Structure 1
Amino acid sequence: MSPIPAFAPADGRAPRRAGWPRPLNPRLRDWRGLRVWIVGASSGIGEALARELGHRGARLALSARREPPLRALADAAPAGSLVLPLDVTDAAAVQTATGRIEAEWGGVDLVVWLAGTYAPMRAQQFDLARARAMLDANLHGVLNGLAALLPMCERRTCGGLALVSSVAGYRGLPKSLAYGPGKAAVINLAETLWLDLSPEGIGVWLVSPGFVDTPLTAANDFAMPGLMQPADAARAMIDGFAQGRFEIHFPKRFTLWLQLLRLLPDRLYFAAVRRVTGL
């Protein structure tokens, strides 16, 4: 079984390639036989991605807190799929799941870390317990994953990591008092990981969704521009993997505007956000 293609040699020297610009990550186009661990696969984007990659022939390891949805996904996936229920805030459970994958598969070609939670929050309704719970799931859970996966990267038994953040991490937004800071940290984390791991031939992807129609976004009581269905979001991720991008963001008609807004001076940025949101 072939691992994902390395795009740089282990000594850190960039290979010569025809064409420019050189992709920042391996171009993943043929998923047949690739070993993919999806963390956060029970619903939303994770479920849709599992279904799409299963159709494309990937071997799947499926994780989330709820086991029954994972079993249903595994039944529809290629033979040999692993079901690994876990709570990402439990560091020991993440270590155990990682160990099982390495023992049964010998390694993993790509880990897609989607697990997280969301609840709208403003300063006037600040809830410390809820804020800590969001950071535990959205940031500390990722760190638990890295504690288990980075030793695999050193052993060359993990080919790449895709961390799912959010455009809410670009800059401060209303109702994102606890969610946004955690996602901003994941963006910074992915950028730093790319700098550390790309010279070793290990892919690092940052996935920045806009609004996707999931049980989490159902809590929003405001208009969500460019709202996507999970299946479309999964296909956008797969297209980004095929192009060798570092950041995969969607839908572009919405996310490109947010990327432009993040470049504005503070005064203009705050004025624009207030005008658009009415808050």
Structure 2
Amino acid sequence: MLAQSAENKIHAFPLDVTDREATENTVRDIETRLGPISLAVFGAGTYRRDSLSTFDAAAIGEMVGLNIMGTVNCLQAIMPAMTTRRSGRIAVMASVAGYTGLPGAAGYGATKAALINLCEALYPELERQGVQMTIINPGFVDTPLTRQNDFPMPFLISSESAAEYIMRGLERGKFEIAFPWRMKVVLKLLKALPPSLRFALTRRMLREEQT
């Protein structure tokens, strides 16, 4: 975790977010040393492409452990203090891949869909307790992780542009920050289509080894 003190300095707190006890201890340590957390952004996650031929329960379990449970551990650690103070904002990093099922992203997309659903479910209760919730749904962003992809990445943007989208969205207090807008629109429209039309389009994304 990274935290920013009143002196505007960045402090690193090494942490494995899949360790629930360590996560709770780290959050307490941050608040003890630097003061109450007013904004928490949870972005730990990973991606592994899958298909019928490479479907691996253990690999998907690892993604679930980090992408979902890592965030859940962070939420459990931060929410009590924020709701007690009746202030603060929590931002969770999901993905536009969580909007609808896409070939090659069965496990990854499922974890991101779960995070979107989780945040939508928590939003009303947190709001009633004075805490704001934001879900961040990026498309393809140029990072060391996405550079490993061996398939076209439409509407790819730089990490600097992604940071600007996120900062503007947080400043405006938005519930959902999704970018780039073309990727968001394409996938939301895809989800809205009848299944027969949706699958006609997603079949075109299949690779030879998936047919």
| TM-score where L is the length of structure 2 | 0.91
Q: Deviations over 1:153-207 (max 9, x none)?
A: 2321760100000111111101112111111100001111111111222110000
Match of 2:164 among 235, 240, 244: 235
| Equivalent in the alignment of 2:154 | 225
| Equivalent in the alignment of 1:113 | 42
Q: Which aligned pairs between 1:1-279 and structure 2 lie closer than 5 A?
A: 39=1, 60=4, 79-156=8-85, 159-275=88-204, 277-279=205-207
Is the CA contact 2:86–2:129 (under 8 Å) kept in the aligned structure 1?
Answer: no
Q: Deviations over 1:251-271 (max 9, x none)?
A: 112211111111111111111
| TM-score where L is the length of structure 1 | 0.70
Gaps of 5+ in 1: 1-38, 42-58, 62-77
Task: Indicate the structure with greater helix content.
Answer: 2
Stretches (4+) displaced over 3 A: none
**Which one scores higher on RCO, CA 8 angstroms, separation ≥ 6?**
1
Q: Deviations over 1:61-116 (max 9, x none)?
A: 7xxxxxxxxxxxxxxxx654321010111112111110011212331110000111
When residues 211 and 253 of structure 1 are mapped into structure 2, their CA distance, relative to the original with a 3 A threshold, is same
Sequence identity (%): 41
Gaps of 5+ in 2: none
Q: In 1, distance between residues paired with 2:80 and 2:185?
A: 35
Find the residue that maps to 1:206 and give its secondary structure: strand
Q: Deviations over 1:26-79 (max 9, x none)?
A: xxxxxxxxxxxxx4x6xxxxxxxxxxxxxxxxx627xxxxxxxxxxxxxxxx65
Is the CA contact 2:50–2:104 (under 8 Å) kept in the aligned structure 1?
Answer: yes
Q: In 1, distance between residues paired with 2:89 and 2:44?
A: 17
Q: In 2, distance between residues paired with 1:241 and 1:145?
A: 19
